[in-house]
Amino acid sequence: MHNKDCTCWNCPAIDLAGKVDFRACGQSVEDFRKKMGLDESYQVMAECKRRPELGLFDPMSITYEECPQWEKSHYGYLLKNMRVMILGVDGYLGWSLVLWLGSLGCQVSGVDNYNRRDWVKERGAHTVVPISRMSERLKASKEILDVEINFRQIDILNERDRLREFIDEVKPEAIIHYGECPSAPYSMIDLNHATLVQQNNVLGTLGVLFMMRDIVPESSMIKLGTMGEYGTPLTGRPIFEGIFPADAVLKWDNREWSMGGELTPRDPVSFYHVSKVQDTYNVVEACKYWWLRSYDVMQGVIYGVHTDHVAADPRLRTRLDIDEWFGTVINRFVAQAIIGLPLTLYGSGEQIRGFIALQDAMQCMTRLIGYPPEPGEYSVVNQMSGFYSVRVLARTVAKIGKEEFKLPVKIQRVENPRVESERHPFEPIYEKLSRKYGFKPSITLEEEIYNMFHLLTNPEIKKRIEEKKHHIIPKTWWSGEKRRVDTLEIYDLEKEIEESEK
């Protein structure tokens, strides 16, 4: 098991408060000793909140392998009945994860204010996979999976007192932060939307950080960032996992320095992405000032519909959006293929992005929860399982649609409403999840696309796609224009498929 040698030092059940002299920013050792009444030979001691009978002990002396509170699972050691709180539990990822973790034995709680439902409705769109109301969802998860979810309807930005109370009541041992607006185009609609996205994301998260400091400082925040924070540097330099490695060197004026530990440059491509970049800095600072622990998960573009848990009952399905604001690219392509709308590439279609399937993202999150960061540790993972150009993805979707589902799929290039590089080098580094946390992708791109066709060709869902097809072609321009993009070119599909087989 990859996390067997972790000790109480990593464990959220540890109580280190006031017993360890964390010296970030050069705090004086003498002051700390005086305050704590320690002599020069003091040793680090801690208490365990789960096993108070241990009294004061050396927190490095017990490993997960030795501790009865950590139990073996398919994803390494997991803390028994771990209390995990998911912010944004009603969303595409949040709902999938709460069922996943609950089924693994975690004691799950969740917060949502249905923003996502409201935003999608406001745009006149809907989730094409029908989802139940929360009360129905909670009932079904208990009935079908025996997962009890402690849910509270709270707006994390505007109802901070209530969130504070809930965190205090639950005392989560990990907080998964999915409670942000995930849409670039939504943030580019107008000033009101840009403001809403930045306030909700940046200030919502800032509040959570303060609450963690005050109530659960040993818990970890696993927060969703995005690969889009980095942009696509035209120099072609590698896109590191958030932080420069020590052997990345800056050379200037015949001198050189290690860049190790500095945050890598960010190049956000929308006001939404800017909010994610700002979050990164807020989380880094919170870890630095208060020794909070955080994983910043730079997720590639997510796609897919399947986990065993959401597929267990129609009432447990997670949402799937295909509109121009909330539909991610592969999800949108499959929907287009099913109703005979040419798959839309923006501009050249040569943009390259990292991708990850829904169930693999869930696996990654589980592995991170089981390997909490050390005190004050801010760590970044690039969460993706492969990278492709959008055009290659369109071909893959077209090929599966045509060969497996007998659909006459077409591909078109349209004007690009975004401001972004359309041809660029792309060398992402994404090795930490597999090297340190034991992540192995469990499904291929083709398999998950097949799963999606299989679900979305269901007549009821197909009808729901038809109903909202006018929201697929973008009308939101980064320039502020509001008009439907024009088609530039329709591809010869046979040729495209031939290309994809090369």
Closer of 263 and 488 to another protein (Cβ): 263
Pull the structure tokens for residue 65: 């392998």
Please say if 186 is a catalytic residue. no
From 75, 92, 230, 272, the catalytic residue: 272
CA distances from 351 to 294, 340, 393 (A): 30, 24, 11
Q: How far is the CB of 235 from another protein (least distance, A)?
A: 19
In terms of CB distance, is 203 or 248 closer to another protein?
Answer: 248
**CB nearer another protein, residue 44 or residue 419:** 44
> Which one of 7, 205, 226, 280 is the catalytic residue?
226
Q: What share of the chain is helix, strand, coil (3-state, %, to 5)?
A: 40, 20, 45
Residue 328 tokens read as 């991610």
Biggest CA-to-CA distance, the chain: 79
Tell the smallest beta-carbon distance from residue 66 to another protein (Å): 14
Which class for 151: exposed (0-12), middle (13-18), buried (19 or more C-beta within 10 A)? buried
| Helix/strand/coil for 119 | helix
Could you please report the per-residue DSSP string of 133-187? -HHHHHHHHHHHH---EEEEE--TTT-HHHHHHHHHHH--SEEEE--S---HHHH
Nearer to another protein (CB atom), residue 24 or residue 234: 24
Shortest separation between residue 103's beta carbon and another protein, angstroms: 31
Q: From residue 245, give the alpha-carbon distance in Å to each of 5, 258, 383.
A: 24, 8, 18
In this structure, is the dihedral angle defined by the CA atoms of residues 408, 414, 418 and 421, taken in order, positive or negative?
positive
Q: How far is the CB of 280 from another protein (least distance, A)?
A: 12
Does the annotation mark 272 as catalytic? yes
Is residue 226 annotated as part of the catalytic site, yes or no?
Answer: yes
In the complex, least distance from residue 204 CB atom to another protein, rounded to whole angstroms: 24
Q: Please give the residue ranges that form the binding site for another protein (CB under 8 A).
A: 5, 9, 20-24, 26, 29, 40-44, 59-60, 243-249, 256-263, 284, 287-288, 291, 373-379
Q: Which of 64, 77, 276, 366 is catalytic?
A: 276
CB-wise, 23 or 440, nearer to another protein? 23
Q: Among all residues, which ones are annotated catalytic?
A: 226, 272, 276
